[in-house]
Chain A
Amino acid sequence: MGLLALFRRTPSSASVAKERLRIIVAQERSARGGGPDYLPLLRRELLEVIRKYVNVDPDAIQVSLEREDGHEVLELSVALPERKTG
């Protein structure tokens, strides 16, 4: 491919395929990964608690469980709405 690839604007169909697979495979692996079928419920309940204090978007909460050699990390990320100043 070489230099020609640099001029190509749209991503190749192979890289689109790879990206789509990367996402779906990760998602399906975590779904069958044993246990964390409580994640959707956990996410919903967390959302309710947070909403008592801050009006966040339903999509603003990301809960994910990742495995790294031997231990598991539960990652929780909440995007707070921008505070209006002045």
Chain B
Amino acid sequence: MTEIIVVTSGKGGVGKTTTSASLACGIARRGKRVAVLDFDIGLRNLDLIMGCERRVVYDFVNVIQGDCTLKQALIKDKRIETLYVLAASQTRDKDALTQEGVRRVLDELTADGFDYIICDSPAGIEKGAHLAMYFADRAVVVVNPEVSSVRDSDRILGLLASKTHRAEQGNGGVKEHLLLTRYSPKRVASGEMMSVDDVKEILGLDVIGVVPESQDVLTASNAGTPVILNEQSEASQAYEDAVARLLGESKPLRFIEEPKKGFFARMFGG
């Protein structure tokens, strides 16, 4: 059975593409067949984060318009045998992506035996974001512990609950998960940043992962190597945990507390 997962957020710059790339790698590394699709028409970026930008020949819109087959457009990852990337088109015509076209591509991937399809949503709540979530079975809502990101995530949750195929069919809707990125345990401890529990309480959703703020994320995108593949990094381990939880394992959250040190911390630390 194929599971379609949308990675979405509303707000831009919170880490959707980084998350899509890392989740896709992490799931594929466990032997599942994974396709990761860039829905950001006009602003293709997933290819760069995945490090396959020079191998893009055909894109999503080419497939939909029949310029090539899906097989020709899927880029096979060089590191992980079971991972494929479908690049977004650079066209400025936002209407190039149609619901019918997206459904055909997803159906073909399903028929081809893919286990997971990861849909990397564009920012905003326009057509691209709508199409990325429309056929999803599950949603990973990427959120920074920051006011505008949390509010926008709530807008997205509203859309997931009403403007998706599952919501329209009334068969339980899309299963939603929160994934916090750019989390700074130190700033949470000093009261400068909302905690995991705060965000969880405001949005009323379970948290599938907390990725700490890390310099390795920029290094990874510089190199075109999804951060999950840098196993020394805390961000990588956090994504790996999120992958495990997505696949149904239960794991305690890590990297959400500042390591305690010194006399004061031991005497008064909570």
Interface, chain A (partner B; CB < 8 A): 1-5, 8, 12-15, 17-18, 20-22, 24-25, 28-29, 32
Contacts and interface: CB of A to CB of B under 8 A. Distances in A.
Given A1-B189, A2-B270, A3-B268, A14 B151 contact: no
Interface in B183-203: 188-195, 198, 201-203
Contact of A21 (B150, B158, B190, B267): B150
A25 B147 contact: no
22 contacts: A1-B191, A1-B269, A1-B270, A2-B268, A2-B269, A2-B270, A12-B190, A14-B191, A14-B194, A17-B147, A18-B198, A18-B202, A20-B147, A21-B202, A22-B202, A24-B151, A25-B150, A25-B154, A25-B202, A28-B151, A28-B154, A28-B155
Interface residues on B, range: 20 to 34
Contacts of B202: 18, 21-22, 25
A24 B195 CA distance: 18
Contacts of B190: 1, 12
Interface of B (DSSP majority class): helix
Given A2-B268, A18-B201, A21-B147, 13 more contacts: A1-B190, A1-B270, A12-B190, A14-B193, A14-B195, A14-B198, A15-B191, A17-B146, A20-B147, A21-B151, A25-B202, A29-B154, A29-B158
